[in-house]
Structure 1
């Protein structure tokens, strides 16, 4: 299995222009699919341009992140879920350990976050009986008068990122020679989550452990992640040389990376690349602020993920690398690690990439 490549210390993150996917001929769309296939084989990360996500939505998202995290800690904690297993609302600094999703013990991560996601009530009544509130819990929102227009700005980005995710899965189907619409029936009730991250410790706190990360090493869990990030360094991808390499998005581009579900489906033809976020610092070593927002398009809870026969046949040796698992069960295993802080025993193939047991 390969990983991201670095040349002269700089990580090569392929840039894929989606313009021809929207407006091109079948031959041009096929070339986009081939470019995505190359990126997914070699890196598992790509930068997409021509994505048709309005700049106004990105500006609204950034301002919403600024407004929410500028609140006092007490106000932010007012929208913290009573049970950390509920992947909604506010998560304060040092509350999570992303490396636990790989089964790796680590200090607490330094980021704080606010999550929203798909809810049972978002779906037509004919579909709701198929959904569990455990997978699609109600969102928690700050008081409108405290953070005016926050909900509208965040939901605008959520909608745009979801549309882009469905476009990307259509590209994936063509790239993998699957029937058109293959992923549609596996994502029409998708567990989708938008996580807004803020990397800055509360006043007076310091990093006590040099092993502490802004966000610990992990792979993403579902099908595909659409990431907006500001220009502050911090995000790193594990390279094929075993080293960590900085990644920053080009102006106007969005970072896209694959999750474990696609690595499993493709029998590791495609990668769910290991990544982490360093505590962002300035030239003096002082912690500085960094913002990002990850939209996780994870698939239907009852979708069974097992290696595709064609991908198994093309593997060396030609055998499945993963046992079948539903999206819902896989997510519960991962979240029990990152949020529940129980070491996940089911991530052996992922953790082997960084030489940990």
Structure 2
């Protein structure tokens, strides 16, 4: 795997593997929460196994989504994102812009759907009028068959898993387990799949499949293909670490909003998706689920900021203000 800076595969616990199998018992939850807290203080990333998400659902979600991206452009454009609608984008924006970095556009197509995109027009009007994707309705392709059903089932399964991870987060922070519940009771979460097309010509200088960025919500649950590499997380100033895909696992990381919420005690870490080695013209597909609090939730750091905290500091910020500002930078 060729990169412009030093790399190493994560093998020493920087991004630990955490088994959720024992989360049904109080002692198991306590041990899992302790492991999660350590990971989020250290790298902001961990890998979960034993999550009980159906392998059949994951396979079906991957299959229909991959088939969609292989359709002709004119057919994908029938469900293109546009004002008030979430769907397909030929270009996935430039994620580095969310951190005010100037790079060429990411080499990525996307398709996004939101939990709130299934609400009625009247219900979505209650979600505010900011430049925010959670106010959009979802638009679904007719092909391949089963696409809409698989996506709805996957969003529901991810929402349930993410809600329990937030309860484990609360335990890790020595809070009541239901501390976060009322901040997510009408959450604006989304599945925003990344499709990285075959690279048939050299990328521009500094152009990657996904440029260096931090996520900006509370947590992300990512599925990546077992036999495709590319995801890297930054350790220190210039040590990019490969995160290999473990069969049956998900990669979990927190975003800037969660780091703010903890007063910088937990870290939102820079990551990127690098280009394949020269001559490798395979495509790659990843399925991230972004768990986002209610649009009108007011986020206040639960503890004073640490002196070493690198997060953007606010006394209080609403989720809608925070996210809409970040998203506008990406697609400006």
| TM norm. shorter chain > 0.5 | yes
- Aligned residue pairs total 318
Q: Does 1:226 align with 2:225?
A: no
Q: Does 1:286 align with 2:309?
A: no
Partner-residue secondary structure (3-state), 1:119: helix
Map residues 342-353 of structure 1 onto 2, 5 A cutoff. Answer: none
For the 8 Å contact 1:222–1:298, the answer to whether it is kept is yes
CA offsets 1:108-152 (integer angstroms, 9 cap, x no match):
1101011001226538x8x7674237533110111x2x3211111
CA 113–8 in structure 1, closer or farther in 2 if over 3 Å, else same: closer
For the 8 Å contact 2:231–2:272, the answer to whether it is kept is yes
CA 213–321 in structure 1, closer or farther in 2 if over 3 Å, else same: closer
Q: Distance in 1 between matches of 2:105 and 2:174?
A: 42
Map residues 79-158 of structure 1 onto 2, 5 A cutoff. Answer: 79-83=79-83, 88-93=86-91, 95-119=92-116, 121-122=118-119, 130-132=126-128, 134=132, 135-142=134-141, 144=142, 146-158=143-155
Gaps (5+ residues) in structure 2? Answer: 1-5
Partner-residue secondary structure (3-state), 2:269: coil
Q: Distance in 2 between matches of 1:50 and 1:317?
A: 34
Tell me which stretches of 4 or more aligned residues in structure 1 moved more than 6 Å: none
Partner-residue secondary structure (3-state), 2:245: coil
For the 8 Å contact 2:117–2:137, the answer to whether it is kept is yes
Q: Distance in 1 between matches of 2:75 and 2:285?
A: 19
Q: Which moved more, 1:216-225 or 1:239-248?
A: 239-248
CA offsets 1:8-29 (integer angstroms, 9 cap, x no match):
93323111111111x22x2332
Q: Distance in 1 between matches of 2:145 and 2:7?
A: 46
Q: Distance in 2 between matches of 1:221 and 1:102?
A: 10
Q: Distance in 2 between matches of 1:163 and 1:189?
A: 13
Map residues 18-57 of structure 1 onto 2, 5 A cutoff. Answer: 18-21=20-23, 23-24=24-25, 26-57=26-57
CA drift of 1:164 comes to 0.6
Map residues 233-248 of structure 1 onto 2, 5 A cutoff. Answer: 233-248=229-244
CA 334–87 in structure 1, closer or farther in 2 if over 3 Å, else same: farther
Gaps (5+ residues) in structure 1? Answer: 1-6, 342-357
Partner-residue secondary structure (3-state), 1:37: helix
Partner-residue secondary structure (3-state), 1:9: strand
Partner-residue secondary structure (3-state), 1:78: helix
Q: Does 1:16 align with 2:13?
A: no
Partner of 1:74: 74
Partner-residue secondary structure (3-state), 1:330: helix
Match 2:265 to one of 240, 264, 269: 269
For the 8 Å contact 1:17–1:51, the answer to whether it is kept is yes
Partner of 1:322: 313
For the 8 Å contact 1:120–1:131, the answer to whether it is kept is no
Partner-residue secondary structure (3-state), 2:166: helix
TM-score (norm 2): 0.89
For the 8 Å contact 2:124–2:136, the answer to whether it is kept is no
Partner of 1:255: 251
CA drift of 1:317 comes to 7.4
CA 317–42 in structure 1, closer or farther in 2 if over 3 Å, else same: closer
Q: What root-mean-square deviation, in Å, do the aligned CA atoms of Structure 1 and Structure 2 show?
A: 2.4
CA offsets 1:209-249 (integer angstroms, 9 cap, x no match):
13101011111111110000003111111112522121123
Partner of 1:350: none
TM-score (norm 1): 0.83
